[in-house]
Amino acid sequence: MSYIEILPKPFFVLAPMDDVTDTVFRRIVASNAAPDLYFTEFVNVDGLQSEGRPRLLKKLLFTKQERPLIAQLWGANPENFYKTAKQIADGTFAKELGLPKGVNFDGVDLNMGCPEKSAVKHGTCSALINDRPKAKEIIEATKKGLNGTMPLSVKTRTGFSTVDMSWIEFLLEQDIAMLTLHGRTRKQMSKVPADWNLIGQARELRDKISPKTVIVGNGDVLTYKQGLELASKYKLDGIMIGRGIFHDPFIFDSTNPWENYQPKARIKLYKKHVQLFADTWKNRERPVPTLNKFCKVYINGFEGAKEMREELMASANTDELLEILNNKLSSLV
């Protein structure tokens, strides 16, 4: 039984974010308030099928706590999508990651929406909106690699320079299990509000073209309640939350306890994150400044938070971070 069949309606998804949603942060989110579905960071198939493979494996590392989990892929070479999908499906990657027997990814997603300039320059991610033959070739190669063992999904945007619903029609014609739509074009980046009316239109197209494809909306969701309202209004199967997690690390909890968290509890949670980071990346697979992206999530909303963040973000290693956090905790009543 695939994850598609067991998810509630509507379901909530933690979005893939590079250098953010690694195994450490996913476990922190899981311990706070778990989403219904997780994605890995997006990982390059061309790199995975090269000498650089060992350096990229950290992007795929996960534990049983972070499931169901979708491996999100991007790249340029369809043959490498085939090889990577095949090695995901047959457990090769799970074995290389040292996972227990029987533990594997639950699906594969294709990143056809990242707007980053260098990705577009190389004809990958959102550039595929303008190269449908290549997009089709990648989808078919990945399907061939999965050989029906796992669901295939796609995450994309509403167009490249302008809104282009024919792109959504094209994707729905590819018989994919799930389509996640970010309500902005590539050109818009994150400079304008997400257009949920377009996401609703995509759901209407789904109903006509590919009724079995699950539709997920993404863009500017800052609360669980807002996500429920959007899912209801546009009749969506799921809601994906990305940057909203930076405002509330309990965003997947309908009771929203975060606003009542006192400074000591917030600092303890960041300490937990730092300690897990130190325990997971013992060989410095991740640079310590990566933690700076999370500092404001926790060290925020209380007197002296700004100064404390500055001190933390100047730290050279996790030992220094933990010392600062412990000192602050011992000074609080």
SS3 of the chain = CCHHHHCCCCEEEECCCCCCCCHHHHHHHHHHHCCCEEEEEEEEHHHHCCCCHHHHHHHCCCCCCCCCEEEEEECCCHHHHHHHHHHHHCCHHHHHCCCCCCCCCCEEEEEECCCCHHHHHCCCHHHHHHCHHHHHHHHHHHHHHHCCCCCEEEEEECECCCECHHHHHHHHCCCCCEEEEECCCCCCCCCCCCCHHHHHHHHHHHHHHCCCCEEEEECCCCCHHHHHHHHHHHCCCEEEECCHHHHCCCCCCCCCCHHHCCHHHHHHHHHHHHHHHHHHCCCCCCCHHHHHHHHHHHCCCCCCHHHHHHHHHCCCCHHHHHHHHHHHHHHCC
Among this protein's residues, is 125 annotated catalytic?
Answer: no
Among candidate residues 105, 107, 119, the one with its CA nearest the CA of residue 156: 119
Catalytic choice (114, 141, 295, 299): 114
Dihedral sign computed on CA atoms, order 277, 278, 284, 288: positive
Pairing status of strand 37-44 against strand 178-182: unpaired
User: Is 34 within 8 Å of 14 (Cβ atoms)?
Assistant: no
User: Is 252 within 8 Å of 224 (Cβ atoms)?
Assistant: yes
Residues that are catalytic:
114
